[in-house]
């Protein structure tokens, strides 16, 4: 892994914090830890004669970015941004993309060289990664980007981003269908959607505005959640202590009072659309991005708070949204969702995928993934998630692929006596709907493929088998295909979605 630092000048002794500017890199005390990792100053603001610094920890995910005060800065070791990149008042240097751990390239390249595995014969291979899940470098997928110092405070809000997006689209001189806007709040974007560039439209506004979190806190049902990333909520929603979101229709309000007024009128107790799956308290609702545009847009806005790269706010028409909920006496509460293109030319079966933070690390992410492959099985094809995956998304997928494939391998019976069970890669794909590339990379990651007497064989060690059985035990909730009531539509045959 190579990190280019060519936009950074040599180490400079900094006599006081007053000489710090945006783009400087220095050790910063990370809140809640005893660590002082290298961080970049993204923005500086004065509030009541105190200076606040918005910092990005260079080797960590952006979700850890935060405002700190002077005391958290170690000014003995400051790297100033290089002067010849255009100067700090005008220079918007070209964002550099750095791929770490296959974050934006192929999904599951071997985590640490791996490969080969040595020509083990017989029944036991050597497994490199215990537990069957390859590890990512911490904060994998974090991209090192130079600062783009824009000192204009006017730009520091969502509306400016939207205006910029609109301008970009006008410049492209391409027209799309207008939004149906019930009222300005429900369709805050108020923009004419432009052409999609990819399934979920990767963000192109890699600037100071979108690099900074702009929402303090959201209240969603009984949860209060701290956002991780920027989301283009309208300006009047930014800089509030908290945004109050109706957990059923996802409309947002400025205060609890406003939300209470809304709840008195809002009759929804579940996401709009059809409930296509229910088992125990878990349900899935299918939402058409064209028919339920306001809901879909509000969902995308909410999701953007927790997804760094994927941004899709305007043109929800080409997508279906699958919302996973848990049911209690108050209603169906959103746990997570994934979006999916109605037609994908590249066999993507998921565009964006998110488990809401209060429900993370409880097995729901894998349940969402399992459901997406169940839909692909019903469609009779293989699929793969759209890239780039987030760091957490990649971990979940790798773990899901490993478990699913090992489950199949362990269930195989030998055909005859003294015969070893046989299966082809294609058969694994057919059984799981996992795309061939992902199957192969998973087998490689797990170091299961060996070349023996002229053919490739899969060897399972005791350790692999044991860790797999353990993993299966901990996965208590599973998707039951019998509870899915759904027929795939052939969107290609329709003139319009």
**What one-character-per-residue DSSP string does 296-307 give?**
HHHHHHHHHTT-
Binding segment toward Zn ion, per CB under 5 A, in 91-99, 259-267, 309-317, 428-436: 259-267
CA distances from 242 to 159, 234, 392 (A): 18, 14, 26
Closer to Zn ion by Cβ: residue 127 or 259: 259
Choose the stretch contacting Zn ion; rule: CB under 5 A; options: 195-203, 262-270, 343-351, 382-390: 262-270
Identity of the residue, 248 or 319, whose beta carbon is nearer to Zn ion in the bound complex: 248
Region from 114-122, 222-230, 244-252, 438-446 binding Zn ion, contact rule CB under 5 A: 244-252
Phi, psi of 83, rounded to the nearest 5 degrees: -75, -25
Residue nearer to Zn ion on the CB measure, 166 or 266: 266
Residue 431 in contact with Zn ion, rule: CB under 5 A? no
Among 243-251, 379-387, 408-416, 485-493, the segment contacting Zn ion (CB under 5 A):
243-251
Q: CA angle, 28 as apex, 25 and 30 as ends, to 5°? A: 135
x/- track of binding to Zn ion for residues 193-232 (CB under 5 A): ----------------------------------------
DSSP state of 183: S
Contact 82, 9 (CB under 8 A): yes
3-state secondary structure of 398: helix
Q: Is 266 one of the binding residues for Zn ion (CB under 5 A)?
A: yes
Q: Which residues pair with 245 in a beta bridge?
A: 220, 252
Question: Least distance (Å) from Zn ion to the CB of residue 393?
Answer: 28
Q: 125-134 burial, b for 16+ CB within 10 Å, e for fewer?
A: bebbbeebbb
Number of residues that bind Zn ion (CB under 5 A): 4
**Which of 86-94, 159-167, 263-271, 392-400 is the region at the interface with Zn ion (rule: CB under 5 A)?**
263-271
Decide whether 298 or 339 has the Cβ nearer to Zn ion. 298
Pairwise CA distance, residues 54 & 208, whole Å: 10
Is 483 among the residues that bind Zn ion (CB under 5 A)? Answer: no
The residue (of 259 and 369) whose beta carbon lies closer to Zn ion is 259
Which secondary-structure segment (H or E) carries 348? strand 348-350
Cis check for the bond before 140: say yes or no (omega within 30 of 0): no
Q: Cα separation of 323 and 218, whole Å?
A: 19
Q: Give every CB contact of residue 382 below 8 A, 6+ residues apart in sequence.
A: 347, 376, 429, 430, 433, 434, 435, 436
Has 386 been annotated as catalytic? yes
Q: Find out whether 399 and 132 touch, Cβ atoms under 8 Å.
A: yes
Q: Is 434 in the site for Zn ion (CB under 5 A)?
A: no
Least distance from C-beta 245 to Zn ion, angstroms?
A: 9
- Binding range to Zn ion, per CB under 5 A, among 54-62, 239-247, 375-383, 437-445: 239-247
Q: Which of residues 134-153 bind Zn ion (CB under 5 A)?
A: none
- Smallest distance, Zn ion to C-beta of residue 134, A: 41
Which residue's CB is nearer to Zn ion, number 17 or number 263? 263
- Residue 200 or 292: which CB sits closer to Zn ion? 292
- Report the nearest approach of Zn ion to the CB of residue 230 (Å): 24
The kind and range of the H/E element at 437 are helix 436-445
Q: Which of 262/342 has CB closer to Zn ion?
A: 262
- Residue 249 binds to Zn ion (criterion: CB under 5 A): yes
Which stretch of DSSP H or E encloses residue 277?
strand 274-279
Selected catalytic residue, list 386, 417, 463, 466: 386
Q: How far is the CB of 262 from Zn ion (least distance, A)?
A: 6
Work out how close the CB of 186 gets to Zn ion at its nearest, in angstroms, rounded to a whole number.
Answer: 11
Q: Are 434 and 113 in contact (CB under 8 A)?
A: no
| Nearest residue to 395 (alpha-carbon basis) of 143, 141, 142, 136 | 136
Q: Is 246 in the site for Zn ion (CB under 5 A)?
A: yes
Write down the least CB distance from residue 244 to Zn ion, Å. 11
Strand 8-12 and strand 25-27: the pairing is unpaired
Nearer to Zn ion, 294 or 354 (CB): 294
We find the least distance from the C-beta atom of residue 218 to Zn ion, in angstroms, to be: 14
Q: Exposed, middle or buried, 67 (CB in 10 Å: 0-12/13-18/19+)?
A: middle
Q: How far is the CB of 240 from Zn ion (least distance, A)?
A: 18
Applying CB under 5 A, the span of 174-182, 186-194, 240-248, 350-358 interacting with Zn ion comes to 240-248
Supply the minimum distance, in Å, between the C-beta of residue 295 and Zn ion.
10
Judged by CB, which is closer to Zn ion: 295, or 364? Answer: 295
Give the C-alpha distances (Å, rounded to integers) separating 291 from 179, 248, 316, 320: 12, 17, 9, 10
The terminus-to-terminus CA distance of the chain in angstroms comes to 44
**DSSP annotation of 148:** -
Decide if 130 contacts 402 (C-beta within 8 A): no
Residue 147 is encoded by which pair of tokens? 């600062």
Please identify every residue annotated as catalytic: 386
What is the contact surface with Zn ion in residues (CB under 5 A)?
246, 248-249, 266
């Amino acid at each position: 892994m190579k990190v280019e630092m060519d936009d950074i000048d040599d180490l400079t002794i900094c006599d006081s914090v007053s000489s710090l500017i945006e783009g400087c890199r220095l050790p910063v005390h990370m809140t809640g830890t005893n660590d002082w990792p290298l961080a970049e100053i993204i923005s500086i603001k004065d509030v009541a004669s105190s200076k606040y610094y918005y910092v990005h920890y260079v080797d960590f995910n952006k979700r850890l970015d935060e405002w700190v005060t002077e005391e958290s800065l170690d000014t003995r070791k400051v790297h100033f941004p290089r002067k010849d990149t255009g100067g700090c008042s005008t220079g918007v240097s070209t964002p550099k993309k750095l791929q770490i751990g296959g974050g934006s390239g192929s999904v599951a390249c071997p985590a640490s060289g791996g490969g080969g595995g040595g020509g083990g014969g017989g029944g036991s291979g050597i497994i490199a990664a215990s537990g069957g899940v390859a590890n990512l470098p911490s904060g994998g997928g974090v991209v090192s980007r130079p600062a783009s110092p824009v000192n204009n405070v006017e730009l520091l809000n969502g509306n400016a981003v939207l205006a910029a997006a609109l301008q970009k689209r006008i410049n492209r001189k391409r027209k799309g269908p207008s939004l149906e806007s019930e009222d300005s709040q429900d369709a805050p974007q108020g923009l004419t959607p432009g052409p999609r560039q990819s399934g979920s439209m990767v963000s192109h506004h890699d600037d100071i505005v979108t690099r900074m979190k702009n929402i303090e806190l959201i209240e969603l049902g009984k949860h209060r959640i701290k956002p991780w990333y920027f989301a283009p909520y309208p300006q009047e929603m930014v800089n509030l202590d908290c945004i109050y979101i109706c957990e059923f229709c996802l409309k947002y309000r400025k205060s609890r009072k406003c939300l209470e007024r809304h709840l008195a009128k809002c009759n929804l107790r579940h996401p709009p659309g059809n409930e296509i799956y229910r088992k125990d308290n878990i349900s899935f609702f299918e939402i058409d991005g064209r028919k339920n545009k306001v809901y879909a847009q509000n969902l995308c806005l909410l999701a953007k708070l927790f997804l760094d790269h994927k941004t899709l706010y305007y043109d929800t028409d080409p997508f279906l949204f699958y919302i996973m909920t848990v049911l209690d006496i108050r209603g169906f509460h959103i746990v997570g969702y994934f979006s999916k293109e109605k037609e994908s030319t590249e066999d993507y079966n998921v565009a964006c995928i998110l488990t809401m933070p209060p429900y993370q690390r409880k097995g729901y992410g894998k349940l969402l993934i399992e459901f997406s492959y169940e839909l692909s099985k019903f469609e009779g094809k293989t699929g793969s998630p759209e890239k780039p995956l987030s760091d957490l998304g990649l971990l979940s997928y790798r773990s899901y692929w490993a478990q699913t494939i090992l489950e199949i391998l362990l269930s195989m019976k030998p055909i005859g006596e003294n015969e070893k069970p046989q299966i082809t890669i294609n058969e694994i794909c057919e059984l799981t709907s996992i795309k061939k590339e992902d199957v192969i990379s998973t087998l490689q990651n797990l170091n299961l493929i060996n070349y023996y007497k002229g053919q490739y064989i899969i060897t399972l060690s005791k350790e692999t088998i044991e860790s797999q059985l353990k993993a299966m035990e901990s996965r208590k909730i599973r998707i039951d295909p019998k509870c899915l009531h759904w027929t795939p539509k052939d969107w290609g045959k329709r003139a319009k979605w």
